[in-house]
Amino acid sequence: MKSILIDAGPIIALYRKNDSYHEKALEFIKKFQGRLITTWPVVTEVMHELYRPDVQEKFLLWIERGGLEIAYMDQDSVSGLLKLIKKYSDIPMDFADATLMLYAEKTGITEIATVDSDFHIYRTAKKDYLKNIFL
């Protein structure tokens, strides 16, 4: 089964009907067959943006039903995150993006669903970038 990473943008768009990416997010989720993986910082970002409790509840229920898998990161991940954040300090790289890139490096996942252009800049330790399959 195919596994990809998903950033906050497409998830937020999925739950906001007035978002310019809403229809694209709906279509993407309906058509995608595989595992959507994200990180807790991405979930935090989404929850902050979906500030209405009823919408937050729908999002959490989607996770509970298996719509998203949440990547596990332990204490040992901190040094990898620190390296990435230092490497891209001129952009700067936010914490959620750093966790996605670190998880991609650890697992070999090469695709992401995102609305951010930063992922065209970020590179894995092998100098590969993540292919954005959302846009």
Query: What pTM, to 2 d.p., does this model score?
Result: 0.95
- β-bridge pairing 111-113 and 69-70: unpaired
Instruction: Note the pLDDT tens digit of each residue in 32-59.
Output: 999 999 999 999 999 999 999 999 999 9
Superfamily per CATH, domain 3-132: 5'-nuclease (3.40.50.1010)
Domain boundaries, the chain: 3-132
Instruction: Note the pLDDT tens digit of each residue in 91-110.
Output: 999 999 999 999 999 999 99
Q: Is the N-terminal amide bond of 92 cis, ω within 30° of 0? A: yes
Element (H or E) spanning 112, and its range? strand 111-113
